[in-house]
């Protein structure tokens, strides 16, 4: 009776695909309308002027211009205050 012996079970050999999240265009760089500025999980960064949020929380440019990052104070529903980074596109005039 032939059988394989001591095969064992490997539980930690699986790995997930890379998500390639993060900032794609930094402050001061030129951006074309529709370009992805950054990819994130959840809303770590907020959308500012001339930007919009994709279905996967990625921030896209709405118009051509220059990328800018700013910090803004937010107040939560329970009164706690915290800061978030706001991404916006400044239109060159």
Structural domains in the chain, CATH included, are 22-90 (2.40.50.100)
pLDDT of residue 12: 77
Output the pTM of the full model: 0.79
pLDDT of residue 5: 67
Please, which residues have CB within 8 angstroms of residue 83's CB and are 6 or more apart in sequence?
Answer: 71, 72, 73, 74
pLDDT of residue 15: 85
- CA distances to 6, 14, 93 from 10, rounded to whole Å, are 12, 9, 60
pLDDT of residue 68: 96
pLDDT of residue 87: 96
Alpha-carbon gap, residue 20 to 6, rounded angstroms: 38
Alpha-carbon gap, residue 61 to 51, rounded angstroms: 5
pLDDT of residue 92: 75
- Could you list the pLDDT tens digit for every one of the 93 residues in the chain? 667 666 667 777 788 899 999 999 999 999 999 999 999 999 899 999 999 999 999 999 999 999 999 999 999 999 999 999 999 999 976
């Amino acid at each position: 009776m032939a059988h394989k012996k001591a095969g064992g079970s490997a539980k930690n050999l699986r790995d997930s695909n890379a998500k390639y999240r993060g900032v794609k265009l930094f402050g001061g760089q030129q951006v074309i309308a529709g370009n992805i500025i950054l990819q994130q999980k959840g809303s770590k960064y907020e959308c500012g002027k001339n930007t919009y949020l994709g279905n996967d929380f990625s921030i896209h440019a709405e118009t051509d211009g220059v990328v800018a990052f700013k910090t803004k104070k937010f107040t939560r529903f329970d009164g706690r205050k915290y800061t978030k980074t706001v991404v916006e596109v400044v239109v060159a005039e």
